[in-house]
Chains A and B, each alone.
Chain A
Amino acid sequence: MNEAVIPETRPVHLDAEVDFSARSGPSRTNGTVKGASQQKISSLRQKPQRVSSSAREQDEAVHESGKTVFGFWVYVMTDCVLFASLFATYAVLHNNTYGGPGASELFSMPFVLAETLILLTSSYTAGLAMLAAHRGNKQSVLTWFFVTFLLGAAFLGLELHEFSSLVAEGHSWRASGFLSAFFTLVGTHGLHITSGLIWMTVLMTQVVKKGLTGTVVKRLSLLSMFWHFLDIVWIFIFTIVYLLGAQS
């Protein structure tokens, strides 16, 4: 419907075309159509048209990133269901020790408290890193994510130490149903932490190379969401496996 208008306002259209080609991604065609549809106005007032179209571009960008964030949120929710099934398995099997020691004899509580405090602190520093990212403070983002990375790595080191000493004492996942469920549940959480640490390394490299662009900040916010989620899963492990285990 706008085809007829295009020839007379050709210069403006070209101008708009150049403007839109600076962007990338699939919404480019949208932008071109929008540019054409607004040419009647723009032939009268060229400047305001460009301002309003860039505002709409921003709206679209925000909408797109909202979809990405929601998509990742849905992934996190399905991951919760995965952990719920592992928790259910543990709850069913936790008394089946096959004559071996149970949770109250195996786990060292001060050790577990240290793990928990480290992970809680790393969740806090990830939050501080995100606040810095929204302020656009690159140095602060890198510092806080580096602290988060160190805390996450310390947590993982403690967990691997716990696993290896359990296995060394003959309490491996093959010893009983209880230990199979324990290693699967806690090990799956540890795998998530490992992938989070790898992801964090990749994103810190991107922050250094590309700076805090919109895309990088979006990726950082997904990572911090993932990290807070792992913290929540650990709270359940701490309560159900360790606190209730030490109790029985």
Chain B
Amino acid sequence: MSLDKPKGSVFSYTVGFVLSLLFTIIPYMLVTQGKASGGGLLFALALFAVAQVFVQLVFFLHLGQESKPRWHNLAFGFMVMVVVIVVFGSLWIMNNLNYHTMSPQDTDKYIQNEEAITPHAD
């Protein structure tokens, strides 16, 4: 990222490129072949996405390779914090809002689905 000394080499860029191809094609196959499903698949997809981002940050953007003081890393960490608050906060609030504004029938369905409670047989 700095001008004085170039970071990375053809080798490190190629390693990053091959890894990023792998981390794209494997989750793609998982989804299209339909071998996995449900929570396990979600977890695998999230894992591959995180691995992919890690590869991009380290091999292409050279994050974590600067000398002290590490202002780039600090700004990056702050960004991650804001992103987590925005994304998970939005989902949490909107889910809660959705729950509280449901019709009674929808609430019944929701409870049955989410908490596996079946209604009384009259």
Q: How far is the CA of A225 from the CA of B60 in the complex (A)?
A: 8
| Interface residues of B, Cβ cutoff 8 Å to A | 1-4, 6, 8-10, 13-14, 16-17, 20-21, 24-25, 27-28, 31-32, 37, 41-42, 45-46, 48-49, 52-53, 56-57, 60-61, 71-72, 75-76, 78-79, 82-83, 86-87, 90-91, 94
Chain A interface, number of residues (Cβ within 8 angstroms): 49
Residue among B8, B20, B42 facing the most chain A CB atoms (10 A cut-off): B20
**Chain A 225-236 near chain B by CB (<8 Å), digits 1 or 0:** 100110110011
Q: Taking CB as reference atom, which chain B residue is nearest A218? A: B3
Q: Give the interface of A toward B (CB within 8 A).
A: 62, 65-66, 69-70, 73-74, 77-78, 80-81, 84-85, 87-89, 91-92, 109, 113, 116-117, 120-121, 123-124, 127-128, 130-131, 134, 214, 217-218, 221, 225, 228-229, 231-232, 235-236, 238-240, 243-244, 246-247
The 10 closest A-B pairs by CB, nearest first: A134-B6, A88-B90, A77-B79, A84-B83, A124-B17, A239-B49, A127-B13, A65-B3, A228-B60, A92-B94
Interface majority SS (helix, strand, loop, mixed), chain B: helix
Could you list 17 A-B pairs, sorted by A, with CB under 8 Å? Answer: A65-B2, A65-B3, A65-B4, A73-B72, A77-B76, A77-B78, A92-B94, A109-B28, A124-B16, A218-B3, A235-B49, A235-B56, A236-B53, A240-B49, A243-B28, A244-B42, A247-B41
